[in-house]
Structure 1
Amino acid sequence: MTLMRFDPFRELERLADQAFSVGARATRSMPMAALRRGAEFLVFIDVPGVDPEDIDVTVERNVVSVRARRAPAHQEGDEVIIDERPYGEFSRQLFLGDNLDSDRMSGDTRDGVLTLRIPVSEASEPRRVQLGTADTSEGAPQHGTASSATTGSETASAADRTTV
């Protein structure tokens, strides 16, 4: 598993926000989409109206924490007629699998969307292993021991090579 899709504590927080926000329709969440594209995961988090300076992204072990702060638009002395926009501090946590390389993670914001790019670690990417054949003549490894793979200058028949 690469990204934790269900966080029971986050769900509990969401339900509590909905229950205790009398008259307010918006919850204090940041909607997210995550997908794999080639050798990286892309995470898109909606942060409309948030200044990029007010977004903090931290990584600790395999947990990515995103915090965003949005201040209300009104100032002292303003007469507020309607204020349905959520403001305050918003947070989101992503639990990364061991197959992702959080050291090479990058992010940027554009049009109110924070985009995180998390590469798949090279050790987790599929690779082709070429196997040679065991020679039972004197001095060669016996059955069950590894033999050396053929080099580029040697030729081998299709029966001598196996791709795993």
Structure 2
Amino acid sequence: MTMTSDVFTDFDRFAASVLDSVRGPRLMPVDLFREGDQYVLHADLPGIDPGSIDVDVDGGQLSIRAQRTADTREGVKWLARERGGQSFLRQFTLGDGVDPDRISASYDNGVLSVIIPVSERAKPRKIAVGTAQTAHAINA
């Protein structure tokens, strides 16, 4: 197979690599839904070393950071190189109705799953309704 070099394609690749290096962190696509008494967040992070993933809560903000390291093989002739080192960042504001102390996360097959439990005080609850017969008089 013979590949020819196109000046415009080479320039496009060079410009994209320069722009990618100055753009900063990239966003990661997510799905977020409520299931029962918890919120579930799935974030796509393919090719990420699980050790580079950082999930933290600071005040009412949930932050997810991850880093993909560029392949630095030597002695090969790169024909295409579009999966360079990248950093990813996504931040979410948490409402009062979640329990930040019980947030958990796992990473499997390129997908980060974050479980955000609903706080006890935010869960629906039944209120007992009394009748006039069960009401107690208050003496002052």
Residue 8 (structure 2) aligns with: none
Rg (Cα) greater in structure: 1
CA change 1:109–1:127 in 2 (3 A) is same
4+ runs of 1 displaced by more than 3 Å?
21-24
Aligned pair 1:38/2:51, yes or no? no
Instruction: Name structure 1 gaps, 5 residues minimum.
Output: 1-20, 143-164
- Write the deviation string for residues 93-128 of structure 1: whole angstroms up to 9, x where unpaired: 011111011110000000000000000001000100
Greater relative CO, 1 or 2 (CA 8 Å, sep 6+)? 2
Cα distance, 1:86 vs. partner?
Answer: 4.7
Cα distance, 1:22 vs. partner?
Answer: 3.7
Normalised to the residue count of structure 2, the TM-score between the two structures is 0.75
Residue 5 (structure 1) aligns with: none
Equivalent residue in structure 2 for 1:108, among 106, 109, 119: 106
Q: Is residue 104–residue 118 contact of structure 1 (8 Å, CA) maintained in 2? A: yes
Residue 141 (structure 1) aligns with: 137
3-state SS of 1:130 partner: coil
Alignment RMSD: 2.4
Equivalent residue in structure 2 for 1:62, among 60, 63, 66: 60
3-state SS of 1:44 partner: strand
Residue 123 (structure 2) aligns with: 125
Residue 97 (structure 1) aligns with: 95
Q: Is residue 68–residue 89 contact of structure 1 (8 Å, CA) maintained in 2? A: yes
Q: Which amino acid aligns with 1:97?
A: G
Q: Which amino acid aligns with 2:68?
A: R
Instruction: Name structure 2 gaps, 5 residues minimum.
Output: 1-13
